[in-house]
Amino acid sequence: MNSKLCQALGGLALAACCVFTVAADPSWKTVDQLTAEERALFDPSTSKPRDSKYAYLPAEPYPFKAPFTAEEMGFRSAEFVHISRWPYSLVDVFGVITSSGYINQGVSVGYVTQSAAPGLDGYMRGLNVGDVHSRWMLFSTFPPEAEAEQQLWILYRTDQKFSTKMDFFIYSPQLRRVRRQPQPRRDQRFPDNAQTFDDVIGRDPWEMDWTLLGTDVIHETVRFPNTRQHITLNEPPKGYVEYATSAIKPMGEQYPFYTADGGVDCWVLKAEVKSDWLPGYNEKTLIFWVDKHNFYPLRTEKYDHKGELIMVEVRNTKLQNPARGEFGYAALMTTYWDLPHDIISYSMHDAHNPHSWTAEQTEMIFTPEFMRREWLYEPNKSQALIREPDQYFMRPLLYRDKFPAVRKIVIAPELEARIQAQEAAGHLIFETGTATAKQ
């Protein structure tokens, strides 16, 4: 969702690679180790009745009932994409940092509208294939040289026959022109960032084959450094609220299902990309940690065609739309770690405000013509920018021992040195011009 492209990142020389293992972690279990209670919630069926209109959808009405198949769990997790499936406004504070400590940040005010009922079901069955399902208008407010740069994303309901995901327009205040851009490749990273187009808009769950790997308990997702003890968030209608970063929980304060030690019980799902739906797609396998109650994806790992881990995404969420109940959780903080390049991107969704756009507002704001006015319709603000590189989010944990049969984690020696230095210091340690990171 970045509206400002970051400075090109020089190639990081990755020498001989090493595979690391550590002692077993008892928090995770494979499918054959599920408890009786967990087995009662899981349906191992791999073939169930299909929808009469769309054969790639399950026939059972969404959001399904327990016991759930792995496919149904995957569909439920697709409810929670990076940009939530309801109308709202927000401030997106985002950035990227390199292994040398170069940091680039931006802020955009965003407006989101929907063409169908909120939620995944509105997207799946409330529209015809080829219909517009959502429009996003993004207005840049930082850095100063990017002021009033704008983007308009017009997103479509797609399937195997209609694959155009979006119309994409940008506005430059220097040129005072709106230009239509080609759709980005779905599996390509945004320039000099860790996340791809699909990481932002979400993947359709019917484009993947789903398998349940087992269960796990997650205690930590987005990792704050010890150099950043507090963060100030904008919470309508209260305004600015300061939090101790150590008190921020993966599923937010209102989540009622934390374990006794503060963890989140998760299903762990494997999704294999269907080559007939996404031919030549850069990613072959994705692994998701989704909470057992709402199926919110707290952690996503992406693997290439060699089976090696290439990206880790972790999220902190919060109940941002209580009117939607269990479906009202939205991304609050997200970090993306691209391992081959050792770059870490983040996106902070501040000032989240569910919105009932009128027909007049929708017709006025969410059009290319509106961008020429350079009108910040709702001037929301944030204080969540990172001040210094060493206050940046840390790399996510790797969990090297978990599910070793399907997770291949290959780490270059230089990166391993930076990881170890980070863990020892409690914050990022950057390259100093030598092969080994130093504090």
The secondary structure of 114-145, three-state, reads ECCCCCHHHHHHCCCCCCEEEEEEEEEEECHH
Structural domain for 264, as ranges = 18-425
- 339, part of any domain: yes
CB atoms within 10 A of CB 29: 17
What does the block give as tokens for 170? 């940008």
CA distance 333 to 330: 9
Q: Is residue 178 scored above 80 in pLDDT?
A: yes
> CA geometry: angle at 241 spanning 237 and 244, to 5°?
150
Sorting pLDDT into bands at 50, 70 and 90, what band is 287?
A: very high
Contact present, 427 and 225 (Cβ < 8 Å): yes
Sorting pLDDT into bands at 50, 70 and 90, what band is 9?
A: very low
- 366, part of any domain: yes
pLDDT for the residue numbered 431: 84
CATH label of the domain that carries residue 387: 2.50.20.10
CB atoms within 10 A of CB 259: 12
- 93, part of any domain: yes
pLDDT for the residue numbered 434: 42
Q: What is the pLDDT of residues 219-277, one digit of tens each?
A: 999 999 999 999 999 999 999 999 999 999 999 999 999 999 999 999 999 999 999 99
CA distance 192 to 253: 34
Q: What is the pLDDT of residues 356-404, one digit of tens each?
A: 999 999 999 999 999 999 999 999 999 999 999 999 999 999 999 999 9
- 351, part of any domain: yes
Q: Is residue 298 scored above 80 in pLDDT?
A: yes
Q: What is the pLDDT of residues 211-223, one digit of tens each?
A: 999 999 999 999 9
Contact present, 207 and 277 (Cβ < 8 Å): yes
Contact present, 212 and 267 (Cβ < 8 Å): yes
What does the block give as tokens for 239? 């305004």
Number of domains in the chain: 1
CA distance 212 to 73: 9
Q: Is residue 11 scored above 70 in pLDDT?
A: no
427 to 380, 388, 424: CA distances (angstroms): 30, 11, 8
Among candidates 193, 187, 135, 186, which has minimal Cα distance to 163?
186
pLDDT for the residue numbered 57: 97
- 320, part of any domain: yes
Segment 88-97 shows an average pLDDT of: 98
- 439, part of any domain: no
Among candidates 199, 246, 238, which has minimal Cα distance to 220?
246
- 3, part of any domain: no
- 88, part of any domain: yes
> CA geometry: angle at 151 spanning 157 and 140, to 5°?
140
What does the block give as tokens for 348? 């902070």
157 to 160, 201, 213, 346: CA distances (angstroms): 11, 12, 30, 27
Q: In whole numbers, what is the pLDDT of the chain averaged over residues?
A: 92
Segment 287-316 shows an average pLDDT of: 98
Instruction: Report helix, strand or coil for 266.
Output: strand
DSSP-assigned letters across all residues of 157-188 = ---SS----EEEEEEETTTTEEEEEPPPPTTS
pLDDT for the residue numbered 26: 79
